[in-house]
Chain A
Amino acid sequence: MKPETPGAQLPLIVDRDRFMFKVARNNFVDPEIFRREKTEIFERNWLYLGHASELKKPGDFLTRVVAGRSILFTRSSEEQLHALLNTCPHRGMQVCRERSGNAKSFQCFYHGWVFAQDGKLRSQPGEESYCEGFKSRDSSNMTHVPRFESYRGFCFVCFDKDVQPLETYLAGAKDHLDVICDQSETLSILPGTHEYSIRANWKLLTENSIDGYHATTTHATYFDILMRSNGGEAFSSGMGGGYALGNGHAVITSTSPRYGRPIAKWIPAWGEEGRVEIDRLYNDLVARFGEERANRIARQGRNLFIYPNLIINDIMAVVVRTYYPVAEDFVSVSAWALAPEQETSWSRKYRLNNFLEFLGPGGFATPDDAEALEHCQRGFANHRDVPYSDISKGMNKESPSNSDEIQMRAFWMQWHKQMYPEAAAEIGDKVI
């Protein structure tokens, strides 16, 4: 008798009646899955490119790698934003090799072709050796990304020209993004980028970024520190829920977290100067939105996930984080701080201070998360004999909490739908 093939038979096992949800560990290690994700996930979905605030003046540009492709992101003299594929239409060289700057035009050094801020070909050496009308052909210009849309300053690209509009794509995430953006009318990305990496599969970082369950154990030392700086008040992430938002998006909220929030929740460690500032910010919100919404904006935290790989955590500061697979066991991460452009120096200083205590690869939390994920990845070497991870916490509840796992189930269901559409059709769309 032929021995049973070891390892996972299915990428996902979902049984709502038995409250069972199993994710094959092969999904994190298989080179074929890694290869297919490049098209099925990263060519079909909206991917975060950057924030409009990163290009302040006409002529400002930056280059950024999105799903392995270099994008040239510009603000033209006419104040239009352009997302260009950074490859010369002549023979392919990456036209702009600088990280950022300000320019009226871009010259590809290889043969000297010059392009405008909107990618149009301006001039070529040896123009007379090209046929008449060459310059006015579309194919002589740099190519725009197939789709580019923004929502409240968040700019996205998609390599599938037929993707649904961004606002539709955002589904239930839009409401939470609105709450974050309502904090201030001048939200901007601050100078200083966290560019780092984790020796683990990118999907582990999705799970970790919206996981409340790990907080008290993985981040015990952070909460020790918070307790000391907060005058001995023990940590509590507060009540809060986990929600599937449609299209793979998800969020966890916390309704009364113990950390301070720059907009706008005071803690004793911030002293009287801080109290005055926080009260002022809170009252501004009440004036703009009324008490109920002001309370939601100011005093609740949220970890928002926008499928497939954008995290916006609005907790003790606001971090915007994207991450891309480099190998099955290596993910490249970029993170930025989002803050009101017009913020008092007190607020700016305390916000950044709050940010660094927890967030970022030099803080007191992210390295421990990375350690956990890297050791999961090492554990997955056993995937033939221990084929599945269990992600069923809270499946039996009407309203899962922020330390349950519905957020991960939302992600995996959408991933499964895009990678294995036939198997997903059998399971159905309902996320519980």
Chain B
Amino acid sequence: MTSITRDQIATFLYEEAYLLDKWRLPEWLQLFTDDAEYQVPSMDLPADATPDNALFYVADDRTRLGERVKRLMKRAAHAEFPHSSTRHLVNNIRFRQESDEDLDVEAAFATYRMKDGITDLYLGTNLYKLKIVDGSFKIRRKRCMLDGQALRPAGRISIIL
């Protein structure tokens, strides 16, 4: 199987962060497969929790993820209009290539959200299930595991992590 390098993964993750920080969300959405999932579990759940029987903060299938993006591009998404400035920092990349098609990636993230004179920080680990497609990647699942015990003082997840 063709070996994927950390550099290739980093390039992809940096591109994802770039699209998010530029609020180019419809293009960001194109990075996902048709059966994709975007999840942010609640902070008191075990690592193997599923949104089918536990309460997450976010558990989007591809349809709802599309709705999330559509919403964030509207004036009427009041929490994000005018939208926040964000800075998605990603590092500490670890990965395991399962096959020619499947890749598991873990990366630490520090995402800053700035608005109305306030800066909030979200810290955690992103767990990606990536599909290797045509020499690049598509995201089959992105699960953001937030560090800490509470979403305070940030208080909301109105941006995309």
> Chain A: residues with CB nearer than 8 A to chain B?
99-100, 190-199, 218, 220-221, 224-225, 228-229, 330, 332, 336-337, 345, 348-349, 352-353, 355-357, 360-364, 366-368, 370-372, 374, 378
Pairwise interchain contact B44-A353, C-beta atoms closer than 8 A: no
Q: Is the Cβ of A220 less than 8 Å from the Cβ of B55?
A: no
Please indicate the chain B residues that have their CB under 8 angstroms from the CB of A349 in the complex: 52-53
A361 with B151: CB separation less than 8 A: yes
Give the distance in Å from the alpha carbon of A349 to the alpha carbon of B52 in the complex.
5
State A228–B71 Cα separation when bound (angstroms). 13
Question: In the docked arrangement, what's the CA distance between A229 and B54, Å?
Answer: 23
Are B71 and A221 in touch, CB under 8 angstroms? Answer: yes
Nearest first, the 5 closest Cβ-Cβ pairs linking A and B are A192-B55, A367-B79, A362-B57, A195-B150, A367-B158
Annotate B37-81 by CB proximity to A: 1 below 8 A, 0 otherwise.
Answer: 000111111000101111111110001100110010010111110
Chain A residues near B96: list those with CB within 8 A: none
A364 contacts B49, C-beta separation under 8 Å: no
With A198-B155, A332-B152 in contact, do A355 and B52 touch (Cβ < 8 Å)? Answer: no
Are A195 and B52 in contact, with the CB atoms below 8 A?
no
CB-defined contacts of B52 to chain A, threshold 8 Å = 345, 348-349, 352
- How many Å lie between the Cα of A161 and that of B134 in the bound state? 70
Are A192 and B56 interface neighbours, CB within 8 A?
A: yes
Question: Are A371 and B76 in contact (CB-based, < 8 A)?
Answer: no
B53–A345 touching, CB < 8 Å:
yes
Contact of B74 among A100, A193, A194, A221 (CB under 8 A): A221
Other contacts beyond A191-B54, A372-B78: 4, CB < 8 A: A100-B44, A196-B155, A221-B77, A362-B40
Tell me whether A356 and B78 are in contact in the complex, defined as CB-CB below 8 angstroms, given that A364-B71, A367-B158 are known contacts.
no
| Contact between chains at A99 and B44 (CB < 8 Å) | yes
> Residues of A contacting B55 with CB < 8 Å?
190-194, 336-337, 352, 355-356, 360
Q: Which residues of A contact B80 (CB under 8 A)?
A: 367
Instruction: State how many residues of chain B have any CB contact under 8 Å with chain A.
Output: 39
B153: CB under 8 A from chain A? yes
> For A99, what are the chain B residues with a Cβ–Cβ distance below 8 Å?
44, 149
Query: Residue on A with the closest CB to B157?
Result: A362
Please state if A368 and B79 are interface contacts (CB–CB under 8 Å): yes
Taking CB atoms, residues of chain A closer than 8 Å to B51 are 352-353, 356
Nearest residue in A to B43 (C-beta to C-beta)? Answer: A195
Bound complex: CA A191 to CA B45 (Å): 7
Residues on A with beta carbons closer than 8 Å to the beta carbon of B43: 193, 195
Are A361 and B156 in contact (CB-based, < 8 A)?
yes
Task: From A194, A197, A224, A353, give the contact of B42 (CB < 8 A).
Answer: A194
User: Residues of B contacting A357 with CB < 8 Å?
Assistant: 64
Is A228 in contact with B67, judged by CB distance below 8 angstroms? yes
Output the least CB separation between B145 and chain A (Å).
13
Chain B nearest CB: distance from A231 CB in Å?
A: 14
Q: Which residues of B contact A366 (CB under 8 A)?
A: 156
1/0 contact trace for B18-31 toward A, CB 8 Å? 00000000000000
